Amino acid sequence: MHRARQHAEARTKERRQRLAHEAARLMSESGIRDFHQAKLKAAERLGFHDDASLPRNREIEEALRGYQRLFHGDDLEERLRSRREAALRALDFFAPFEPRLVGPVLEGTADANAPVLLHLFCDDPREVTIWLQEHDIPADSRMRRLRLDRERSGDFDVWVFNADEATFDLTVLPRDALRQAPLSPVTEKPMARASASQLRALLAEDEIAGYEALAR
């Protein structure tokens, strides 16, 4: 009985790993951004239909990092730096809304299709609408549901536009959300986020690391 249980657990673990890597491949190659969609698509492709085999979001994120290092290592750093520089220009542009960079561009998992995700903070979302209009930036509107903490969730205004050869995705949050980042759908912990000054420091660190690597 014990050996049978161990065998079943090992098979489930193997399936989770295979699903995580297939979901990571789909996210990297097909531009799928939603972890849940990616894992369901991977399960369909591999013919796995039991929920116990579905990997956690963080397992897919780890597999995604590994996939990108393996298949996109040569241009990953250059592409990531370009996206971060574009994000910094956007953070400066939206400075009145105390913006923060979140998501793959900050975390280092951005692929060629990953948008630059920004959180903007103001108590009246119409201020962002007016700002975009005044600067002649055509943007599409939508809504996004986020968990602010363990007890509070909400639907928030989102604006999406293209600039600097990248897609920018702006979520407008109330100013009191500056105190604590919304919960990540991957880790269920407060999202990592960076202000303009923090991103400048990160870019400087990356540049120094690049010089040191060349000097070896």
Is there a contact between 170 and 118 (Cβ–Cβ < 8 Å)? yes
- The pLDDT mean for the chain works out to 84
CB atoms inside a 10 Å sphere around CB 169: 22
As a whole number, mean pLDDT of residues 97-118 equals 89
The domain locations on the chain are: 2-55, 74-215
Q: What tens digit of pLDDT does each residue of 124-141 get?
A: 999 999 999 999 999 999
The model scores a pTM over 0.75: no
As a whole number, mean pLDDT of residues 113-117 equals 88
Residue 108 has pLDDT above 60, yes or no: yes
Residue 106 has pLDDT above 50, yes or no: yes
CATH topology of domain 74-215: Beta Polymerase; domain 2 (3.30.460)
Q: What tens digit of pLDDT does each residue of 54-92 get?
A: 777 777 777 776 666 666 555 667 888 889 999 999 999
